[in-house]
Amino acid sequence: MAAIFRPTANIAAQVVVVGLGMLIVGGAVWWWAWPRMDYVRHMGWTVEQPVPFSHQHHVAGLGIDCRFCHVTVETAANAGLPPTYTCMTCHSQIWTNAALLAPVRESLANNTPIVWHRVTDLPDYVYFNHKIHIAKGVGCQSCHGTIQDMALTRKARTLTMGFCLDCHRDPAPNLRPADAIFNTDWHRTAETPSPAALMQHYHVGGRNLTDCSICHR
Amino acid sequence: MPPVNRQWRGLDRLARDPAFVARASAEFPQLAAALAEPRDRRSVLKLMAAGLALAGLSGCDDGAPGGVLIPPVLPADNTVAAGSRMFATASVLGGYADGILVRHVNGRPIKVEGNPLHPASLGGTSAIGQAEILGFYDPDRSRGLIRDGEPQSWSSLLTTLAAQRDALGQGAGFRILTGAVTSPTFSRQIAALKQRYPEMRWHRWDPVCRDAMRAGAVLAYGQPVEVLPQLDAVDLLVTIDSDLLDSAPGHLRFARDFAARRNPARTDRMSRSYAIEPTPSLTGVAADHRFVVSPRDLVRIVPALAASILRGETPAGMPSWFAPLAAEMQAAHGRAFIHAGPQQPAEIHALVHAMNEALGGRGATYTLIGPVEADPVDQAASMRDLMADMQAGHVTSLLIMDSNPVFTLPGFGEALKRVPFSMTLAAETTETGGQTHWTLPARHPFEDWSDARAYDGTVTILQPQAKPLYDGLSPHALLALFQAADQVDSRDVVRQTHGLTDGQWHDALATGVVPNTRAAVSDARLKSGAAQALPPRPAGGEVTLLFRPDPHLWDGRFANNAWLQELPRPLTKLTWDNPLLVSPAIAKRLGLANGDRVSVAVGDASVVLPAWVMPGQAADCAVALLGFGRTDVGMVGQGAGYDVYPLTGGGGPVTLRKGTGREVLACTEHHDPIFTDAGDYVRQGTLAAFKANPGFLGGPAEQPSLYNRKPTGPAAWGMSIDLNACIGCNACVVACTAENNIPTVGKQQVIHEREMHWLRIDRYHEGDPADPNILFQPVMCQHCEQAPCEIVCPVGATVHDQEGLNVMVYNRCVGTRFCSNNCPYKVRRFNYFDFAGEERRPAVARNPDVTVRARGVMEKCTFCLQRIAEARIDADMANRPIGADEVKTACQSACPAQAITFGNMAQGGDIAERKKSPLTYTLLDDQGTRPRVTYEARIFNVGSDTGT
């Protein structure tokens, strides 16, 4: 009796079996890895803005303090975005005719606000509060990255719940002395108090920071 | 062992018939009906497949960073850019002001709070006051000028008014119609107008007015004095069909003062109160003794009471409670106070004045002040004059402000057709606006300057809370335009009235009170004839028909407010409807059950509406609730309920006939049923029993437990609710709705038991349906330490935090509803639909600190977690523990009677004190849930022990 399958059928069967296996494994890997990719989380993406504002120039170059523009970062949940008026305190004197700054001048002249696009956007059911993080010694860079190097602002951290929880489980490594919170050049040195000492200094650790009710309402 | 009481919610379930218990035991009875519908296997598979496919989609997220950030161009003057701030103003109803503070977040008003510095509020608010913020954002508010149905420009209005000013001459045909007014600025402007048009007249019309009280004061004192009770000084309170705690001007303050003497665990001089009334009111339900008396007997009993007290007579033919009450009143000389409600005739008020004087209360339990209202008139007479003049053609120009007579006064619409020039100024769409020549949009009170006086005369400046949402005109600006062509700033007009320096003006705005404006105490002398006043007998007939304002829609002006429409009425628990309230006796005679249609006729006028049996209503009484059935109102109120105003105009005998068919009414009295074998949901007892053993109602000591899940955090949140103070007014429910972005769901969904209120007020009856004891109990999430909901959630969406909060994590919830099924208190609410998304309410009106819940998510009371979080952050920044009384929940701060106390038990304070009260018990303590919410049992001061 003649064989029903030719010898090449063995190869086809093996290819199909192995292929199916690879597809399942690949699918599982993709399912796991895809949402964790920086690409999907838009890490490092810059967003087009009406004015290509450079933190690199203003922070690293000119040494302007974060709080000059983000005035409510120590007193409110929102850090606050500067009104056009703040931009024009300097730009009515320098670069008064720069084409790049035309939207800023028009904003002031026409009394129409500049519409910035969000770089970091937390879900609406998360209530992040800037002032308590500043008060407890978390530097801006912990969440916003090396902002002083960004010619165009980009998202530097994943800002996922896992990212938040890493720090809420163990805040110590992210704490800075009070005078270094807004200092973008700060690095831990031998003189810096130890993380444990900072925890004690800021009275962190009295409550369970991983309770749902800390961030969700 | 506490006394076992049988407490029932509704008459139809009094018998606890087995069918009801089975139905109520199923958490979602409507679902069972839906599931019973036959479905074939194929369609079930299709639905499952579709569900799976959709579940897959929910994992898709385009991940695009969302939204924009819009900073202002210029920094705002005198403002801190972020955080919430409070601005004082007042909520005005019937002319009288209750001081409020409006909370602003990011520059927009989002919540009303009471003003602790205002004498009529002391921090409390009413349900109506709380809901005013929703009215402010109402998208149905009237916009644009309209003349005879055509939109008009502002300049054409100015031209028209210029022509009017010329044409009015001496003002013989010029009439202004408003509701009752206490505003000093408004009356000053009217006076100025009268200078210019000497023959003009100012008419007043409120369908729910206090004419009889005014007339009674004139009968007794010869002048329209007002009574200012000091309820915390009253040992014996006798109320006659009174609205003292319901809606009288100053009722928030009265509730506060009344409650101060009601909990024997905190006061050693518990007051006693008697209520004599034909239909249950909040005042009556709060009383120790409630006597159900028909209005026709009242006109006999009150003069007899007066005769007994003033002349020592012993009238015959009185009910059994009469003689002891009269004796007790005489014994309480200088400590008693009698109050009669506005529905009682003037003669009864005169008699009450005479009795109060005779009992030596004046100066001790109450004082008399001059009238708070500007130029008070007899509104009914004023309206009769106006209607006669309109019909005779004497009225050439009619300006109507803050009044809706076409809806509230039968026959006004016809008379209006004979007026050649008429103009309405109203913030909302009204029936009157549709029938006058001109309809002008008024500014909402939150958008403009004005002023008003409180029950004791204190003046509050109403300041705008936001830029006008829609182009509108303030009443002050309109009056000024009738005066002269110059357009004025209403701020200047108000400022001019009070003559305050800059500093005083600033302080008056900041505190919400203009100092030293309390009305002076009147030294009016009682006229000798007052004691002889004889009230007229009401017309005979089988049925006595009473008209009462709806407790929430009032005379109909709040009909487009969804929060108020869907707020279960305190005593009937009805929403979205106003059936005729009939006594159990009438129901029995006509064979009526709840919802059966009934036809009411008064003379020629008749209305067909459903009936509702009201336990505790006098046998011959039927009560029609005003305010529903608006026809020209906006999308929310359109078609809700039945208009009973036509009946108010009819004279003649009242006839009641059973109609055909039945209406389905959205009543929540049987929703969220809870069960305990003892049946003692609201524990209650007498003062004598309390004195013998203060702990006789308290719960047993905490049972030992195998679990040790006591939260260990630095704070321990707890709540105590004093059932002696709770008057069931619903202010807390609306406050919760406003604070927590709770959506309304509409009548149909309420019928499906899907209302979303996180806080409900259960109402129980006890005893004879003809005269039951009525009890209130606010119930919200009890934040059990051993929470049954948490152990059944398959996804950990409801968990405990360290501070003892039972936390709901919306973004984990997949909507199994196991938690709700396992909750013995039935306080969890499920978003069957996208209720929040379907709400007709702009996003800016919501509280930005609270998540707006999506469809398919469970939710419940969070103890105002957003307020706790704010306090937690403030405390942590200052490196101190959160103070015991630092956080006030929305319900707590709204409560006029301070029935609710909340706080951090770890720090002592009020909450720890109240928890120690011997009256403290936990609801359903047989469940072993260890709730963080406890109740203080209700004590009735009955019998011979006056407690004083």
DSSP A57-96: IIIIIT---HHHHSTTTTTSSS-----HHHHHHHHTTSST
SS (H, E, C) B112-133: EEECCCCCCCCCCCCHHHHHHH
> Given an 8 Å threshold on Cβ–Cβ distance, is B802 in contact with A72?
no
Quickly tell me which residue has 């300057």 as its tokens.
B449
Q: Mutate which of B60, B800, B877 to test chain A, going by most A C-beta atoms within 10 A?
A: B877
CA distance A26 to chain B (A): 18
| B791 pLDDT more than 90 | yes
- The answer to whether the pTM exceeds 0.95 is no
pLDDT, position B25: 55
Considering only the beta carbons, identify the residue of B69, B805, B876 that sits closest to A132.
B876
Q: Which residues contact B252 (CB under 8 A, 6 or more apart)?
A: B98, B114, B120, B121, B122, B124, B125, B126, B896
CA distance A157 to chain B (A): 13
**A158-198 per-position pLDDT tens digit:** 889 999 999 999 999 999 999 999 998 898 888 889 999 99
3-state SS assignment for residue B256: helix
Whether the CB of B69 is below 8 Å from some CB of chain A: the reply is yes
**Mean pLDDT rounded to a whole number for chain B:** 88
Q: Which residue of A has its CA nearest to B56?
A: A31
Q: How far apart are CA B444 and CA B667, in angstroms?
A: 32
pLDDT, position B29: 55
Task: Give CA separation, B292 vs B280, B315, B336, B590, in Å.
Answer: 8, 19, 21, 21
Helix axes B211-221, B346-358, angle to 10 degrees: 50
B273 has which bridge partners? B237
**B816-863 per-position pLDDT tens digit:** 999 999 999 999 999 999 999 888 888 889 999 999 999 999 999 999
- The H-or-E segment that residue B587 falls in is helix B584-590
Q: How far apart are CA B167 and CA B160, in angstroms?
A: 10
pLDDT, position B134: 94
Averaged pLDDT for residues B5-26: 62
Give the number of beta-carbon pairs within 8 Å between A and B.
133
Considering only the beta carbons, identify the residue of A42, A78, A131 that sits closest to B65.
A42
- Give B74's contacts in chain A (Cβ within 8 Å): 83-85, 111
pLDDT, position B116: 94
- Give B66's contacts in chain A (Cβ within 8 Å): 118, 121
Q: How far apart are CA B821 and CA A62, in angstroms?
A: 62
> Given an 8 Å threshold on Cβ–Cβ distance, is B73 in contact with A85?
yes
> Given an 8 Å threshold on Cβ–Cβ distance, is B851 in contact with A116?
no
Confidence of residue B793 (pLDDT cuts 50, 70, 90): very high
Q: Which residue has the higher pLDDT, B708 or B386?
A: B386
Q: Which residue of A has its CA nearest to B713?
A: A207
Averaged pLDDT for residues B225-245: 94
Considering only the beta carbons, identify the residue of B64, B67, B713 that sits closest to A208.
B713
**B572-626 per-position pLDDT tens digit:** 999 999 999 999 999 999 999 999 999 999 988 999 999 999 999 999 999 999 9
Confidence of residue B48 (pLDDT cuts 50, 70, 90): low
B903 has which bridge partners? B718
Whether the CB of A201 is below 8 Å from some CB of chain B: the reply is no
DSSP alpha helix (H) spans, B779-932: 788-792, 818-822, 835-838, 865-877, 890-894, 909-915
Averaged pLDDT for residues B528-533: 84
Considering only the beta carbons, identify the residue of B63, B852, B866 that sits closest to A42.
B63
| B40 pLDDT more than 90 | no
User: What DSSP character marks residue B362?
Assistant: B
Quickly tell me which residue has 């279960």 as its tokens.
B568
Considering only the beta carbons, identify the residue of A80, A121, A127 that sits closest to B82.
A80
Averaged pLDDT for residues B483-510: 90
pLDDT, position B59: 43
> Given an 8 Å threshold on Cβ–Cβ distance, is A212 in contact with B802?
no
Confidence of residue B14 (pLDDT cuts 50, 70, 90): low
Q: How far apart are CA B249 and CA B230, in angstroms?
A: 13
Q: How far apart are CA A177 and CA B445, in angstroms?
A: 50
| B33 pLDDT more than 80 | no
> Given an 8 Å threshold on Cβ–Cβ distance, is B802 in contact with A115?
no
Averaged pLDDT for residues B178-186: 94
- Is the Cβ–Cβ distance between A198 and A175 less than 8 Å? yes
- Give A124's contacts in chain B (Cβ within 8 Å): 851-852
Question: Which residue type, as a one-letter code, is found at position B944?
Answer: S
Whether the CB of B36 is below 8 Å from some CB of chain A: the reply is no
User: What DSSP character marks residue B525?
Assistant: P
pLDDT, position B63: 44
User: What DSSP character marks residue B458?
Assistant: -
| B19 pLDDT more than 80 | no
* Residue B159 structure tokens: 């031209």
Write out residues 687-746 of B within 8 Å (CB-CB) of A.
Answer: 713-714
Write out residues 85-104 of A within 8 Å (CB-CB) of B.
Answer: 85-86
Considering only the beta carbons, identify the residue of B74, B80, B714 that sits closest to A207.
B714
| A76 pLDDT more than 80 | yes
pLDDT, position B50: 63
B367 has which bridge partners? B228
pLDDT, position B62: 45
pLDDT, position B57: 47
3-state SS assignment for residue B575: strand
Among residues B289, B294, B264, the alpha carbon closest in space to that of B274 is found at B289
* Residue B938 structure tokens: 């209700």
DSSP alpha helix (H) spans, B766-889: 788-792, 818-822, 835-838, 865-877
Whether the CB of A48 is below 8 Å from some CB of chain B: the reply is no
Averaged pLDDT for residues B160-175: 90
3-state SS assignment for residue A178: helix
Confidence of residue B72 (pLDDT cuts 50, 70, 90): confident
Whether the CB of B587 is below 8 Å from some CB of chain A: the reply is no
Write out residues 139-198 of A within 8 Å (CB-CB) of B.
Answer: 155
Averaged pLDDT for residues B691-701: 81
* Residue B623 structure tokens: 């009560």
* Residue B361 structure tokens: 């209360």
| A2 pLDDT more than 90 | no
pLDDT, position B1: 34
pLDDT, position B60: 45
* Residue B892 structure tokens: 């707590």
- Is the Cβ–Cβ distance between B210 and B380 less than 8 Å? no
3-state SS assignment for residue B528: helix
pLDDT, position B77: 63
Quickly tell me which residue has 């292929």 as its tokens.
A19
- Is the Cβ–Cβ distance between B482 and B193 less than 8 Å? yes
CA distance B52 to chain A (A): 17
**B339-389 per-position pLDDT tens digit:** 999 999 999 999 999 999 999 999 999 999 999 998 899 999 999 999 999
Q: Which residue of B has its CA nearest to A155?
A: B65
Please report the sign of the dihedral spanned by the C-alpha atoms of residue A15, residue A16, residue A18, residue A24: positive
Whether the CB of B843 is below 8 Å from some CB of chain A: the reply is no
> Given an 8 Å threshold on Cβ–Cβ distance, is B75 in contact with A129?
no
| A136 pLDDT more than 50 | yes
